[in-house]
Structure 1
């Protein structure tokens, strides 16, 4: 499967944003003692997007390169 045409920085950024919003949803669901269905789905989607970005990026990402990828994506959106 050829994944070279994907914008991996954008996929990684979207996955991280979804993960950031999913964490409070999980905590809220557990504190209200209700099943975290939507939060679980968000965690799975974000994890899948992050894994796809790591897999599709030639050479992969390192922890040090993730902030640069997010900054490039945000700069591209606002410019």
Structure 2
């Protein structure tokens, strides 16, 4: 997996985990699934950041996102 793909997938998973955690807290349940998905997303974010020479700056994230979307469309 390329670092850009790991970064984008990690961002996607972290964004998906937020509503799951909020829903669990509002229903007074432990947020198990949301926490697992969030940790997996953070692990992918870290993997992408570590395996990129020099890491990612905040300005590099949109470029990586558009690059991955372009790879998917092609």
TM-score, with structure 1 as normaliser: 0.90
RMSD of Structure 2 on Structure 1 (CA): 0.8
The residue number in structure 1 matching 2:42 is 47
Deviation at 1:59, TM superposition (A): 1.2
The separation in 2 between residues aligned to 1:12 and 1:73, in whole angstroms, is 10
Residue 18 of structure 2 corresponds to 23
Using the alignment, how far apart are the partners of 2:49 and 2:6 within structure 1? 9
- SS state of the match for residue 34, structure 1? coil
> Which contiguous aligned blocks of 4+ residues in structure 1 show a shift greater than 6 angstroms?
none
Q: Which has the higher helix share?
A: 2
Secondary structure of the residue that 1:58 maps to in structure 2?
A: coil
Matched residues, number: 74
Matching residue of 1:3: none
How far apart are the structure 1 equivalents of 2:3 and 2:19? 25
- TM-score (structure 2 length as normaliser): 0.96
Consecutive unaligned residues of structure 2, counting only runs of 5 or more, are none
